[in-house]
Amino acid sequence: MRTRLVWVGLLLIGSLTAAAKEWNVADTGAVGDGRADCTAAFQRALDAAGNEGGGIVNVPTGDYCIRGTLKIPGGVTLQGTFRVAPSCDHETRPRMDGSVLMAYAGRGAQEGAPLITLAGSNATLAGFIVTYPEWKQSDVPPVPYPPTVYADYTVNTGILDCCLVNPYEAIHFQNAARFLIRNVHGYPSFRGMYIDNCCDIGRVENCHFWPFGVLYKPDDPYCLWVNTQGVAFEFARTDWQYVINTFCFGYGVGYKFSESKNGSCNGNFVGIGADSCRRPVLVEQSQFPGLLITNGEFVGRWASTDSVGIEIAESAGDGKVSLSNCSFWGPIDRCIWSKSTKTQLTAIGTHFMSWDVDNTGAAAIQVDAGKAIIQGNTFGEGETHVRVGRSVVSAILMGNQAAGGFVCENLAGDRTQLIGNECNPITLSKKARAHYRVAVGKEGDRPFLTKWCGREKGVEWPNEPGAKRWSSCGSALRLPVLPRKAYTITMEIFMPKQAVDPDDGLYLGDKCIAAFPDQEGPATVTGTIPRGKAEEILLDLRTKTWCPKNLDVNSNDTRRLGIAVRAITVRAKGADGRPFDANGDR
């Protein structure tokens, strides 16, 4: 019995000790009415916890006005009510419940004192919404503020379960080893997170930077600024960096790998995503062990024509950039563009769904220099899958698949090895070349087209809509023919009234071989291709181009379009019978 009483007493003493390690800002004078300045009351509670060797400072539900700055001592957690990251809607004045910190200090002074400094090892901020009441979406460029949360020369600091609403720079960590940033949401304008000289395995988990508290539109001046100038995640010198299940939307750069005076980054990036970013990933520099990117999803900036999924700058050194099981889609010009003379690029098991959004002939992967291994990938819509530049030292392209056959534009000669890539499944025999039909807009039409828009439903033909493509600036037909044979070409087109021009037509060199109609509607156009010596001819489509967005204020379509085409039939003089199905007939 005595032994049992002793243990009960020890448990009670332990409970009292644990209770004594918690403080409440209400007890030091904080009032969550959104008006009274609570800076001093918060700091009193934080200092009391720090003087006692650490503990938890609790902040009840309420709106707490913070007109100064706060420092969280080592071993102290400033804790709000949330146990998962709070969120708010796409509204300029979203509803914000729970523990809310209203920040006022430092407006207009990016280099001023941070709102919250993790001032010692094991200092933690957890469970808050932080908002900037003086922020306005009409302020373009955004008004600078100091970082919301800052750490320097600390170990094991953390930010957990927070939503940082419209800060200028959300998180800035320098010399902070073994930090943990987890479940942080928000839409910082200038930069979401900057990590530098944070060695020995920093961790970023489940962070989500997108337009919380902002009514997002691609052409809104504020959103456009963030979407071209802002950076979501930036990593300078950091060793063994782990980034898991993170996402950003609407930034100039999603994930930026830069170099400071301390060096650059190496690390493991798993399940990362960047949507509507002009550069989802920008590699300015990396360490020799490299950047290992797995299960990434990357989408270009909405309504843009110059987005590059992953850009490896000329400044990048001899670090490796390695992709595995990633995916690219949306309005992208190039999925990957490697310019560095020293970087080793590897892409394995990745899906390149769409690229060349402006129909300029861009490749899904462009390697200007250095070394590359492109293996076991799949490609969707697009004419050129890989372009290998003259300065490439070594490129190995192996086991890649693409509808219509894998296409590599190789300017590096025998320094490029092409092994086991999918060939064009359609081989036009001599008989097929004499008479064939291309169903434009159906799979398999790409080998015959240059600089055309993507496949669409052919709604312009209401009785039999089928499929189609729109021509664009510089569109052409690349047609196999038999040497020394004259041909008749027939095209089923739709002519929009805004594309009508006297010079519209199908041209062989400078000669118009088929004029397009001068009125709106479906039409069948026929022309004659003269005899020649080549086995392939190139015919140019010349039309007046137009932009859907200029005709309809509700449209976001900024493409330059010409005419719609749904079928092309090519027939040599004297050929008869049913035309060969060039899209897929065997």
| Residue 435 pLDDT | 96
| Residue 5 pLDDT | 39
Size (the chain), residues: 586
For 281, phi then psi, to 5°, come to -135, 130
Q: What share of the chain is helix, strand, coil (3-state, %, to 5)?
A: 10, 45, 45
d(CA 241, CA 232): 16
pTM of the model: 0.87
d(CA 583, CA 522): 22
Helix (H) or strand (E) holding 64: strand 62-66
Tokens of 404: 């219509």
| Residue 15 pLDDT | 42
pLDDT, one tens digit per residue, over 82-124 is 988 887 666 655 667 899 999 999 999 999 999 999 999 999 9
DSSP 65-129: EE-S-EEE-TTEEEE-S-SS-----SSSS----SEEEEE-TTTT-TTS--SEEE-STT-EEES-E
- Mean pLDDT for 443-471 is 91
- Domains within the chain, CATH numbers bracketed: 19-215 (2.160.20.10), 224-240+249-423 (2.160.20), 430-581 (2.60.120.1320)
At residue 214, does pLDDT exceed 70? yes
Tokens of 571: 């027939």
- Mean pLDDT for 271-283 is 98
In terms of Cα–Cα distance, which of 373, 375, 411 is closest to 391?
411
| Residue 268 pLDDT | 97
Strands 487-495 and 521-529 come out as antiparallel
At residue 202, does pLDDT exceed 90? yes
Give 583's pLDDT tier (boundaries 50, 70, 90).
confident
At residue 201, does pLDDT exceed 60? yes
Burial class from Cβ neighbours inside 10 Å (0-12, 13-18, 19+) for residue 143 reads: middle
pLDDT, one tens digit per residue, over 458-473 is 999 998 889 999 999 9
CB 121 within 8 A of CB 151: no
| Residue 1 pLDDT | 46
Question: What is the overall mean pLDDT for the chain?
Answer: 92
The DSSP 8-state label assigned to residue 261 in this structure reads: T
At residue 6, does pLDDT exceed 70? no
At residue 12, does pLDDT exceed 80? no
d(CA 119, CA 61): 25
Burial class from Cβ neighbours inside 10 Å (0-12, 13-18, 19+) for residue 257 reads: buried
The DSSP 8-state label assigned to residue 421 in this structure reads: P
| Residue 134 pLDDT | 96
Helix (H) or strand (E) holding 549: helix 548-551
| Residue 470 bridge partners (DSSP) | 564
At residue 4, does pLDDT exceed 60? no
CB 92 within 8 A of CB 211: no
CB 96 within 8 A of CB 62: no
Q: What is the largest distance, in Å, between two alpha-carbon atoms of the chain?
A: 113
| Residue 406 pLDDT | 93
d(CA 251, CA 277): 5
d(CA 250, CA 207): 15
d(CA 307, CA 272): 18
pLDDT, one tens digit per residue, over 287-299 is 999 999 999 999 9
pLDDT, one tens digit per residue, over 314-372 is 999 889 999 999 999 999 999 999 999 999 999 999 999 999 988 888 999 999 999 99
